[in-house]
Structure 1
Amino acid sequence: MGVRGERVVVIGGTAGIGLAVAEEAGREGARVVVASRRRESVDAALERLPQDAEGRVLDAGDESAVRDFFAGLGGYDHLVYTAGEALLLESVAESDLGRARGFLETRLWGAYMAVKYGAGSIREGGSVVLTTGTAGRRPLPGTSVAAALCGAMESLTRALALELAPLRVNAVAPGVVRTRLWRELGEEERAGLFDSVAGSLPVGRIGEPADVAEAYLYLLRGGYSTGSTVVVDGGTVLV
């Protein structure tokens, strides 16, 4: 029921939640492959991971690159997809449709392509874990694109769980987590947001990547979960 000795591929695994998943999987004895767009990010992640970890440069929004990545990867046991651009927070009236499409390109279509080209190499008993969020369940002003994405990812997870069975497909929905995805906000605005959210949550703090990584590992280990979305949000959807 563990991941020791298994090969875990984490696309978006060089920072934030993805890196935390890779680190935890490595601590549990998995052989980890991390991939992201920038070579420097890959190299920095490998400094923090076990010596047998592998790092690949991959633009998750480039179909030919994704296809070639999986064609050269060989067999593995689990696919985790956490790749994504900085969070897009803007009103419908002020939205830039080009940016909105780009936001969906990596997070939604990137995940779709990873499953399309990567599922066939996953060994028996393996799984896929995708990433969504709480905006689809509790949207706020300025989160229309994020809410649309989250709803789509949850629906995609359920559909893939049926289409690809017995391969298990699940998702994790983090709340507000202290990662670089909030980098579009200024430092003062970001700190104010984190303080405000922390004060409103039942747990009294915002999430850290390691908090959320536990949910991914649970889904990798658990052989009886599929089509599920695990919410790890400190109680965001309750308040």
Structure 2
Amino acid sequence: MSSRTALVLGGTSGIGLATARQLRALGATVHISGRDKRRLDEVAATDPELVGHRSDASDPIALRELVEEITAIDWLVVTASGAEGMGPVADLDLDVLRRAFDAKFWTHLGAIRAALPHLSVDGSITLVSASSARMGMPGTAGLSALNAAVEGLVRPLAVELAPIRVNAVSPGLVDTPWWDGTPEDARRALFAQVASILPARAVAVADDVAAAVVLAATNRNLTGTILESDGGARLVSLA
């Protein structure tokens, strides 16, 4: 696999960075992108073999310039996410939800369109959604719709873009920097509560989900598939 080239959008932290590291361990040349120069500098110090790019994946012009700079891509991984869109539907600010769609759904779709001319014919596209797409938790209608929209791209594009493979990975609760804004005591209490309910009896870390992303990206027999990496959350009630 040493001749393969991967691009991980949102690859400077969390699931994206863990995925980039695992793909690099397979011998691929791995490009990562992010908007935060500080994070890029930190990754450059800890993972000098990863090729960092400061780029906004939600900006179509910047995205096109990025993929044109890389020129040829075998594995496209899109881990763009946001922190907005959650709350009871009666109180949900629709402008906030539109921003959430801009940050995730439109970024995923824009990344596919920008990278498509540069993807190898035996390459792959791997998206990252979330288990809220299929769960019935109160207060998650906005997030559910957003992630269901991302997952809705997978099956038609797997047929339309064949032989390029298209998959998604659907994580549940994951201990990543996404939770950094939550007070430490509250975060630990939440994780402990959820872990006691999950069949896996543990809250995932980024490497757990990244392993599923790498499988989806590299396994030539997977396409049109949504891999659920949620510790069994879909099987129980977390409400």
The TM-score bracket by the shorter chain reads: over 0.9
Of 163, 168, 173 in structure 1, the residue corresponding to residue 170 of structure 2 is: 173
Shift of 1:190: 2.2
Could you say which residue in structure 2 is the equivalent of 1:142?
139
| Equivalent-residue separation in structure 1 for 2:44 and 2:130 (angstroms) | 27
Shift of 1:182: 2.6
Alignment partner of 2:191: what SS?
A: helix
Aligned: 1:208 with 2:205: yes
Identity rate, percent:
35
Misfit runs of 4+, over 6 Å? none
Could you say which residue in structure 1 is the equivalent of 2:108?
111
Could you say which residue in structure 1 is the equivalent of 2:83?
86
Of 158, 163, 170 in structure 1, the residue corresponding to residue 155 of structure 2 is: 158
| Equivalent-residue separation in structure 1 for 2:165 and 2:234 (angstroms) | 26
Q: Residue 87 of structure 1 contacts residue 184 of structure 1 at CA under 8 Å; is this kept in 2?
A: no
Could you say which residue in structure 1 is the equivalent of 2:40?
42
Q: Residue 84 of structure 2 contacts residue 96 of structure 2 at CA under 8 Å; is this kept in 1?
A: no
Which of 64-73 and 18-27 deviates more? 64-73
Flag the 1:183–1:90 CA change in 2: closer, same or farther, 3 A. farther
Shift of 1:108: 0.5
| Equivalent-residue separation in structure 1 for 2:222 and 2:140 (angstroms) | 29
| Equivalent-residue separation in structure 2 for 1:5 and 1:15 (angstroms) | 25
Shift of 1:102: 1.3
Which of 58-67 and 20-29 deviates more? 58-67
Letter in 1 for 2:14: G
Shift of 1:122: 1.0
Of 50, 56, 70 in structure 2, the residue corresponding to residue 59 of structure 1 is: 56
Shift of 1:187: 3.0
Which of 204-213 and 192-201 deviates more? 192-201
Aligned: 1:235 with 2:232: yes
Shift of 1:4: 3.0
Alignment partner of 2:185: what SS?
A: helix
Of 104, 114, 128 in structure 2, the residue corresponding to residue 131 of structure 1 is: 128
Letter in 2 for 1:67: R
Superposition RMSD on alpha carbons, in Å? 1.4
| Equivalent-residue separation in structure 1 for 2:84 and 2:16 (angstroms) | 15
| Equivalent-residue separation in structure 2 for 1:57 and 1:214 (angstroms) | 25
Of 65, 73, 77 in structure 2, the residue corresponding to residue 76 of structure 1 is: 73
Structure 1 residue ranges without an equivalent (≥5)? none
Letter in 1 for 2:45: E
Q: Residue 129 of structure 1 contacts residue 216 of structure 1 at CA under 8 Å; is this kept in 2?
A: yes
Q: Residue 7 of structure 1 contacts residue 76 of structure 1 at CA under 8 Å; is this kept in 2?
A: yes
| Equivalent-residue separation in structure 1 for 2:230 and 2:6 (angstroms) | 24
Q: Residue 124 of structure 2 contacts residue 218 of structure 2 at CA under 8 Å; is this kept in 1?
A: no
Shift of 1:186: 3.2
Letter in 1 for 2:164: L
| Equivalent-residue separation in structure 2 for 1:88 and 1:190 (angstroms) | 19
Q: Deviations over 1:102-138 (max 9, x none)?
A: 1111210001000001011011211000011111111
Q: Deviations over 1:172-197 (max 9, x none)?
A: 00110001223343333322221111
Q: Residue 60 of structure 2 contacts residue 114 of structure 2 at CA under 8 Å; is this kept in 1?
A: no
Letter in 2 for 1:187: E
| Equivalent-residue separation in structure 2 for 1:46 and 1:158 (angstroms) | 36
Could you say which residue in structure 2 is the equivalent of 1:20?
18
Letter in 2 for 1:5: S
| Equivalent-residue separation in structure 1 for 2:20 and 2:89 (angstroms) | 36
Q: Residue 77 of structure 1 contacts residue 122 of structure 1 at CA under 8 Å; is this kept in 2?
A: yes
Shift of 1:212: 0.7
Which of 7-16 and 65-74 deviates more? 65-74
Shift of 1:15: 0.3
TM-score computed with the length of structure 1 as normaliser? 0.94
TM-score computed with the length of structure 2 as normaliser? 0.94
| Equivalent-residue separation in structure 1 for 2:100 and 2:181 (angstroms) | 13
Flag the 1:186–1:103 CA change in 2: closer, same or farther, 3 A. farther
